[in-house]
Amino acid sequence: MFLLTSKRKDFITDHIINLLTYNIDYLTENTEKSFFKKIFVENSNENIRIYSDEIKISLKKPISLYSLHSNLFSILSNIFFKFDQFIYYPLPQKIENKNISIKLTHTHSIILNNLLLNKSGTEKMELYKVLWPSDKNIQLNKLDTHLTNLKNLFEKEFNYNLNYFSKQSIIKLLID
């Protein structure tokens, strides 16, 4: 999840942010949600600027939504999160350590995102709803199976014990 915001609000900027966050599930404008990185959108007379701490791009107006999204995707694809001995790229769903790189499944990526973003833990039922929003018959053992599969993946690929614990329906990742 990435927070899309602006330091200076105006009609164009607000609409760009609304359009992008409405159509793209890895973007939010809700500051109450947990996020990996804050991305700014700014409107000037001739350009739309997209930037974070590390990257800045300027796009000449007029601009299509497709071009705007493509450039934003390019920026976000290079943003990573470090934990323990790993570098995790949330958008491309890739995790790597010293010499191994693997692509996670969409489900495993959502689970890892939630565990990394919510350091105090994430509610199992909330995570289940994110993963399978249209399920009518909720089976928490399905989530437990995916958690075990993610743990086994880390063990197999990286020879690493991905520690998490579950207490009173809260799952928490145990990392430094």
- Note whether 22 and 93 are same-domain residues: no
Average pLDDT, the chain: 91
Band the pLDDT of 176: cuts 50, 70, 90.
Answer: low
Band the pLDDT of 155: cuts 50, 70, 90.
Answer: very high
Handedness of CA 137, 174, 102, 67 (dihedral sign): positive
- Note whether 87 and 72 are same-domain residues: no
Q: Output the pLDDT for position 23.
A: 76
- On whether the CB atoms of residues 40 and 57 are closer than 8 A, the answer is no
* Residue where a domain terminates, one of 51, 76, 101: 76
- On whether the CB atoms of residues 122 and 106 are closer than 8 A, the answer is no
- 100-118 pLDDT tens trace: 999 999 999 999 999 999 9
**How do strand 101-103 and strand 94-96 relate by DSSP bridges?**
antiparallel
- d(C-alpha 80, C-alpha 100), whole Å: 16
The CATH number of the domain holding residue 25 is: 3.40.30
- Note whether 13 and 34 are same-domain residues: yes
Q: Output the pLDDT for position 9.
A: 86
- Note whether 30 and 69 are same-domain residues: yes
From 60, 62, 44, select the one nearest 6 (Cα to Cα). Answer: 44
Q: Output the pLDDT for position 53.
A: 84
Q: Output the pLDDT for position 166.
A: 87
- Note whether 102 and 116 are same-domain residues: yes
- Note whether 62 and 93 are same-domain residues: no
* Residue where a domain terminates, one of 76, 108, 134: 76
Share of the chain above pLDDT 70, in %: 99
- Note whether 94 and 57 are same-domain residues: no
- Give the total number of structural domains in the chain: 2
Per-residue pLDDT at 98 exceeds 80: yes
What is the residue range of 152's domain? 81-173
